[in-house]
């Protein structure tokens, strides 16, 4: 590619700039997905902690209320779960993590969309550059034929 063509591709079409934006988006997507993975791990840990506490609460309350009927126990268990400070703390943390996960999933989709747009733009620019090269080659062939017939 001649300097004139390279200058046109870089300065006018912004080929390298598009490439740089896609690379930045890829790095951002990678970082977002790493953060999403950590948040999902934390969600699993909190869900496990919540399950353990619920089982522990059932054991505690069954010991305090051994004569209570199963129906009454299940009804009261819902109240006890709401009143339990440890379960409230876990639910609060879980809700925060779920919000973070939703935000990260939206961010990841945004980065993917930017990558798709940038990739499409690079393909479009590549096709345009091929077209320009074909036009130039044809012009050179036409010029050579004219020169050889004269």
CB within 8 Å of 35: residues ≥ 6 apart = 104
pLDDT of residue 150: 66
pLDDT of residue 2: 58
What does the pLDDT look like over 37-74, one tens digit per residue?
Answer: 999 999 999 999 999 999 999 999 999 999 999 999 99
CB within 8 Å of 10: residues ≥ 6 apart = 16
Q: What is this structure's pTM?
A: 0.74
pLDDT of residue 144: 76
Nearest 5°: the CA angle 64, 71, 78 is: 65
* Longest alpha-carbon distance in the chain: 115
Residue 89 CA to residue 50 CA, distance in Å, equals 10
pLDDT < 70 positions in the chain: 1-2, 150
- Residue environment code for 72-99, b if the CB has 16+ CB neighbours within 10 A, otherwise e: ebeeebeebbeebeebeebeebbeebee
């Amino acid at each position: 590619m001649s300097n004139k063509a390279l200058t046109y591709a870089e300065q006018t079409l912004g080929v390298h700039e598009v490439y740089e934006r896609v690379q930045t988006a890829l790095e951002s997507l990678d970082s977002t997905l790493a953060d999403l993975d950590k948040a999902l791990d934390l969600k699993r840990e909190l869900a496990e902690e919540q399950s353990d506490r619920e089982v522990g609460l059932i054991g505690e309350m069954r010991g305090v209320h051994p004569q209570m009927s199963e129906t009454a126990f299940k009804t009261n268990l819902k109240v006890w779960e709401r009143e339990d400070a440890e379960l409230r703390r876990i639910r609060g943390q879980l809700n925060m993590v779920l919000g973070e996960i939703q935000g990260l999933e939206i961010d990841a989709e945004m980065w993917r969309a930017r990558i798709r747009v940038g990739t499409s733009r690079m393909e479009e620019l590549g096709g345009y550059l091929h077209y320009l090269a074909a036009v130039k080659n044809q012009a050179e062939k036409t010029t050579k034929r004219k020169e050889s017939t004269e």
